[in-house]
Structure 1
Amino acid sequence: MIKLNRKMAAAAATVLAVATFVIACSKGGGGGTPEPTNPTGFDKTAMLTNYADALIIPAYTNLQTQATALETSVNTFLATPNATTQAALKTVFKDTYLRFEDVSVDQFGPAETALFNNFVNTFPTDSAVIEGNILRGTYDLSANASISQQGLPALDYLLFNPHAVTDFTGTTATNRKKYVQDIVSAMKTRVSTVLNGWKNTYRATFIANTRSDSGSPIAFLINQFAFEMDQLKGPRIGWPFGKQSGGTQYPNNTEGFNTGISVALATENLTALKNMYNGGGSGKGMSDYVVSLSKQTLNSDVMAQFDKALSALRAVPDPYTTSMTTKKPEIEAAYREIQILLTLIKTDVASATGVRITYQDTDGD
């Protein structure tokens, strides 16, 4: 965040937000701010080529490699479920989740078609349905209705809940092991599908379209920047903290709840967003495009706000569920900085680049 509920109302809200974004961004042309003039002749093809070749395809390649490493570590744990193999698995699992955060912003093209973020990272997971699936030994992980029963959040629950080790030696051990292996296999397949889609056909389509209207790569990028910021403000940080529930906290709804890595995931997500905005630092990115549109001050404000938000997030230690009680001022500060950054991207950057925000957020600005 991909793209969440109050013990499932938040999951439904995120699915709705992502689905609305998918539908809206898939509609070509029409409406919104006129295409901005670019008197400097900024090379948008070079920018999109940099995004495809230096950022997006390598990020999916890294996730594919890490998913294979996760499968190996999972199988080692399942063969000998104990505290030692679980601890080793937790390290690999965290690395895999972090690599997912690097591609979470890329929910368009092949990822949009495959609803990649939905299947891989709908949280909180539905543990009750998962346990029913395991008990019966029957389920369909390809069905859209199963998104809250699989992916990284499901693995977080199955492999790292307080009784996970004993679960894999109990009466449901055989079915439980198969369920975990099926989740990992499905995730690996989806990563490969998206990566192959980029390599085989979508890369050329992505680079060739330099417009900013709905359905264009630039519109996809700006919408996803804003959408991911909305998810950071809402499901990742604000909602569990009680920002949409009158102060009532929902710690179990955090991303990476059982492994206690929620803040690390949020920080990586925001770092990846900054990296995408500035083109990775060495290549052309949206930051260069904004400057070319005579919006140097806006770009400086956005880059500075990325740093402020990251600094504020890093002041909140994991596990986030503990910090909700012991670090409330720090969380409030991080929330404020994230909100400012969201507004800059969703309003000012979108306006400067002539992009219409087409997804529907879940809680307003």
Structure 2
Amino acid sequence: MKKISLVAIAAFLSATVFFACSKSGGSDGPETAQGFDKTAMLTAYADNLIIPGYTAMQQQLVGLKAASDAFLAAPSGATQATLKQAYTAAHLQYERVAAFQFGPAETALLDIFVNFSGGLDYNFNTSGELTGFSVDSVTIEKNITNGGYNFQDMTRVSFYSQGFPALDYLYFGPNAIDKLNASPVKRKQYINDVLARLKSLADKVAGDWQAYRAGFINNTKTDVGSPIGSMVNQFAYQLDLLKGPRIGWPFGKQSNGMVFASKTEAYFAGISGVLAVENVSSLKKVYTNNGSGKGLSDYLVALGKTQLNTDVIAQFDLVTAKLGAVQDPLSAALTSNPAAVEAAYKEIQKLLTLLKTDVASAAGVQITYMDNDGD
């Protein structure tokens, strides 16, 4: 498999992660928002959503480890079913922190190593290229057989052979139980190493937020790299991922209608639809700061953009409803119920436009990543 060049890595990171918070330069935001307490807003984000979200992720991974241990000790349909519940809970919690891929998460490259989506610069027509929410089962099997793998390698094969995609394949892939029984020692070791790596990344981000918090809540500017700028960018980026690798690209929106069902998120567990619904539901929760009156939604109202805010919230609800109408597994629905998938896709596009164009403009935020998906 082709190794990613340093130039390609730099380009990828510029498209997916955002600069750390800075107190210097930039704008304090539109003057019409005077009187809105942005420090209080950022404090509520840090203390009520971000830090608790990463803490909950740590806890869910502890639960996943316990269920994994039980499955590895006695592989069976029953222990696998219990494991799937724990895996789903942990993956859902990751969707709830997906919008916080800045600061400590940026430093740790959490989204790259834990749930690699491939970014937004795809070409599904490139023969043999890993794209979207893929899993590199070939490299995983080689790693298990040969050992000597390094999860810190900055290569596509590294990204696609660890994190949630690797666990999805190892736990629920074809003949998962038979493969485990055939090579129990090495396979168990690889699973445990993937879990340990995942937990260490979550621990690092959660721990680093304790020191990062002060700078985060005290930077009320809206320039590139500011907390507000980064959050608005992440809203747009997450919607681009929903429109692209989560829904649109497997559906054939960049491949002349050719469906790539296996590139749906958590393909083997069959929970792609549930994850997509949780992703967009969590984005709405972040947008409103859980209805606390201290969210970006309230900031928009303070800017005199009440109708825009109303439109955004209504579109969030519509996208959630349309996605909810697509029954899992999404990989099957792409061909068995394409009308429902198409309906959800169209509403996602509308929400993306509202967030990426209208909300960003109203908040005085520059979108800093590039979208080259071509659909």
Question: Which range is displaced more, 119-128 or 295-304?
Answer: 119-128
Q: Could you tell me how far 1:228 is from its partner in structure 2?
A: 0.2
Instruction: Supply the distance in 1 between the matched residues of 2:346 and 2:19 (Cα, whole angstroms).
Output: 28
Q: Is contact 2:224-2:365 (8 Å) kept?
A: yes
Q: Is contact 1:324-1:331 (8 Å) kept?
A: yes
Alignment-mate amino acid for residue 341 of structure 2: I
Q: What are the superposed Cα offsets for residues 18-41 of structure 1, whole Å, 9 maximum, x if unpaired?
A: 511356635969999993113541
Q: What are the superposed Cα offsets for residues 312-363 of structure 1, whole Å, 9 maximum, x if unpaired?
A: 0000000011111111111001000000000000000000000000011231
Q: Is contact 1:29-1:213 (8 Å) kept?
A: no
Corresponding residue for residue 186 of structure 1:
197
Q: Is contact 2:100-2:234 (8 Å) kept?
A: yes
Alpha carbons of 1:15 and 1:238: their partners in 2 closer, same or farther (altered >3 Å)? Answer: farther
1:82 pairs with 68, 76, 79, which one? 76
Instruction: Supply the distance in 2 between the matched residues of 1:22 and 1:311 (Cα, whole angstroms).
Output: 27
Instruction: Supply the distance in 1 between the matched residues of 2:25 and 2:292 (Cα, whole angstroms).
Output: 33
Corresponding residue for residue 94 of structure 2:
100
3-state SS in 1 of match to 2:134: coil
Instruction: Supply the distance in 2 between the matched residues of 1:311 and 1:20 (Cα, whole angstroms).
Output: 32
3-state SS in 2 of match to 1:202: helix
Corresponding residue for residue 138 of structure 1:
148
Corresponding residue for residue 258 of structure 1:
268
Q: What are the superposed Cα offsets for residues 153-189 of structure 1, whole Å, 9 maximum, x if unpaired?
A: 100001101200001110x321111000000011111
For 1:197-216, list aligned pairs within 5 A: 197-199=208-210, 201-216=211-226
Instruction: Supply the distance in 2 between the matched residues of 1:333 and 1:147 (Cα, whole angstroms).
Output: 32
Q: Is contact 1:70-1:96 (8 Å) kept?
A: yes
Q: Is contact 1:36-1:354 (8 Å) kept?
A: yes
Corresponding residue for residue 113 of structure 2:
119
1:162 and 2:174 matched = yes
Question: Which range is displaced more, 121-130 or 328-337?
Answer: 121-130
1:53 and 2:64 matched = no
For 1:1-365, list aligned pairs within 5 A: 19-21=13-15, 25-26=19-20, 35-122=29-116, 123-145=133-155, 146-170=158-182, 172-199=183-210, 201-364=211-374
Corresponding residue for residue 125 of structure 2:
none
Q: Is contact 1:214-1:356 (8 Å) kept?
A: yes
Q: Is contact 2:273-2:327 (8 Å) kept?
A: yes
Instruction: Supply the distance in 2 between the matched residues of 1:22 and 1:161 (Cα, whole angstroms).
Output: 28
Instruction: Supply the distance in 2 between the matched residues of 1:323 and 1:66 (Cα, whole angstroms).
Output: 29
Alignment-mate amino acid for residue 151 of structure 1: G
Instruction: Supply the distance in 1 between the matched residues of 2:280 and 2:178 (Cα, whole angstroms).
Output: 36
Q: Could you tell me how far 1:126 is from its partner in structure 2?
A: 0.9
Alpha carbons of 1:158 and 1:196: their partners in 2 closer, same or farther (altered >3 Å)? Answer: same
Q: Percent identity over the alignment?
A: 49
Alpha carbons of 1:23 and 1:287: their partners in 2 closer, same or farther (altered >3 Å)? Answer: closer
Alpha carbons of 1:197 and 1:31: their partners in 2 closer, same or farther (altered >3 Å)? Answer: closer
Question: Which blocks of at least 5 consecutive residues in structure 2 are unaligned?
Answer: 117-132
Instruction: Supply the distance in 2 between the matched residues of 1:16 and 1:269 (Cα, whole angstroms).
Output: 26
Q: Could you tell me how far 1:202 is from its partner in structure 2?
A: 0.6
Structure 1 vs Structure 2 CA RMSD: 2.2
Alpha carbons of 1:125 and 1:251: their partners in 2 closer, same or farther (altered >3 Å)? Answer: same
Alignment-mate amino acid for residue 179 of structure 1: Y
Query: Which structure: greater helix fraction?
Result: 1
Question: Which range is displaced more, 36-45 or 215-224?
Answer: 36-45
The count of corresponding residues between Structure 1 and Structure 2 is 353
Instruction: Supply the distance in 1 between the matched residues of 2:374 and 2:26 (Cα, whole angstroms).
Output: 19
TM-score, normalising length from structure 2? 0.90
TM-score, normalising length from structure 1? 0.92
Question: Which range is displaced more, 65-74 or 38-47?
Answer: 38-47
Q: Is contact 1:315-1:330 (8 Å) kept?
A: yes
